[in-house]
Amino acid sequence: NEGSLWGARFASGPSPELQALSKSTHFDWQLAPYDIAGSRAHARALSAAGYLDADELAAMLAGLDTLESRVASGEIVAAHTDEDVHGALESALIGIVGAELGGKLRAGRSRNDQIATLVRLYLKDHAANIGQLLVHLIDALASQADAHRTAIMPGRTHLQHAQPVLLAHHLLAHGWALSRDLDRLVDWTRRADVSPYGGGALAGSTLGLDAASVARDLGLAAPSENSIDGTASRDVVAEFAFVTAMIGIDLSRIAEEIILWNTREFGFVTLHDGYSTGSSIMPQKKNPDIAELARGKSGRLIGNLTGLLATLKALPLAYNRDLQEDKEPVFDSVETLEVLLPAFTGMIATLTFHTERMAALAPAGFSLATDVAEWLVKRHVPFRDAHEITGALVRHAEEHSIELDEVDDAALASISPHLTPEVREVLTVEGSVASRDGVSGTAPDRVAEQFSKLADRVRHL
């Protein structure tokens, strides 16, 4: 039983079944660099409070440096008897600096305040990384929008043709949504910027350690105000999982459009060969696998969030071992996005848009009907009547299998005396798009303003 973290109290060591269940080193080993950073800060706090003299502190810090490089090189790995990263690294440190000194580091801390702190450090680093990946994706969308400033496409509601819009307007819509995800990450970081270190198992420490200096050492703004809350809360982890799920959902909405646009029926886009896949049997196939994987993985990101919320529900204070279940889902969400986002950005950056095809379809489905109704309103026809008149015009065109601008003068007049031939002036997609120049509208001038506004927003986050 020697070498375990709680040997003396127990007559026997853990059963193999318990060891197998309890072990977390296969996933928490990646917290090793943060664990060692925490140990450095803790050693300094112990020394400042008089529990390590200057020589001991120097030897401890040197030992932690050795430990860090041996873990990084793979020379030190978790033993099959190690339960978690904290215990494994303590044994390894003792192997380096000896039991006399190594055994002093555990004073005034618990794995409970350690793990609660380390998971924040890990997530803060990855929040910054995922934020950077999001910026690249927003840039790719904005660049495609910039390259297609005048292209017009069918805007849809209910997936039906609704009103023509600029392709750039549509692409920037996704950019704005992703900028809010970036904002969420930044805002999350503000709440995550707290150090539970010093909370001990749940009730705090008797040793007079300076928790604020530990927090500062770890790059966190302040220690927790309440040791129970610090060690037992995981809302910061759940919130992070929510933000990753929201990013997944926003990606899935872009992905679904790309999958549709890439069909023969739409014919709006062609995927770059480097960002699409073929079929093992059908030689002609070129598949949008990146978009499909994004759509699929969004389900997994949602699952990670809901699983974690279920773990937290009704969990009494303070620490319970259930809390160990926070890590695998959130690690998986991080890894999922860190591999998905670069591929997704590459797919967007290399898309070819078939703007002539989009433009040709833009007026189809009577998508200029609202322009006719608003043209009538400008001639002081009440909108209710304008809607009726335009509805009759659409029905006439549909019955005769013609477009709105093909209805002849006599037919126009028979539908309503208000429908003079001048109405054809608004029956072009360019005219329609240009006239939607109110705030947030799709008019080229309004869209042009969005580029700098979106870039500013992203830069200031």
- Could you say whether residue 84 binds ligand ARG (CB under 6 A)? yes
Which residue type sits at 162?
A
Instruction: Say if CB 166 and CB 214 are below 8 A apart.
Output: no
Backbone angles phi, psi at 428, to 5 degrees: -125, 145
Counts of helices then strands in the chain (DSSP H, E)? 19, 6
- Could you say whether residue 238 binds ligand ARG (CB under 6 A)? no
Backbone angles phi, psi at 194, to 5 degrees: -130, 145
**Closest to ligand ARG by CB, 116 or 347:** 116
Among the residue ranges 208-216, 235-243, 261-269, 315-323, the one whose residues contact ligand ARG (CB under 6 A): 315-323
* Total Cβ atoms within 10 A of residue 383: 11
CA distance to 193, 231, 271, per residue, from 147 (Å) = 40, 51, 16
Q: Is the peptide bond prior to 49 cis by the omega test (within 30 degrees of 0)?
A: no
Instruction: Compute the Cα dihedral for 342, 168, 157, 359 and give only its sign.
Output: negative
Among the residue ranges 56-64, 212-220, 282-290, 317-325, the one whose residues contact ligand ARG (CB under 6 A): 317-325
Among the residue ranges 36-44, 321-329, 406-414, 429-437, the one whose residues contact ligand ARG (CB under 6 A): 321-329
Backbone angles phi, psi at 155, to 5 degrees: -80, 145
**Closest to ligand ARG by CB, 232 or 419:** 232
CA distance to 195, 257, 290, per residue, from 263 (Å) = 51, 10, 15
| Least distance in angstroms from the C-beta of 250 to ligand ARG | 30
- Could you say whether residue 324 binds ligand ARG (CB under 6 A)? yes
Query: Which residues from 342-371 bind ligand ARG, rule CB under 6 A?
Result: none
| Least distance in angstroms from the C-beta of 334 to ligand ARG | 16
- Could you say whether residue 35 binds ligand ARG (CB under 6 A)? no
Instruction: Say if CB 276 and CB 290 are below 8 A apart.
Output: yes
**Closest to ligand ARG by CB, 84 or 90:** 84
| Least distance in angstroms from the C-beta of 3 to ligand ARG | 16
Among 197, 261, 319, 344, binds ligand ARG (CB under 6 A): 319
Backbone angles phi, psi at 367, to 5 degrees: -70, -5
- Could you say whether residue 323 binds ligand ARG (CB under 6 A)? yes
Q: Is 22 a catalytic residue?
A: no
Which is catalytic among the residues 22, 279, 414, 440?
Answer: 279
Q: Is 432 a catalytic residue?
A: no
Q: Which residues bind ligand ARG (CB under 6 A)?
A: 24, 84, 111-112, 115, 319, 321, 323-324
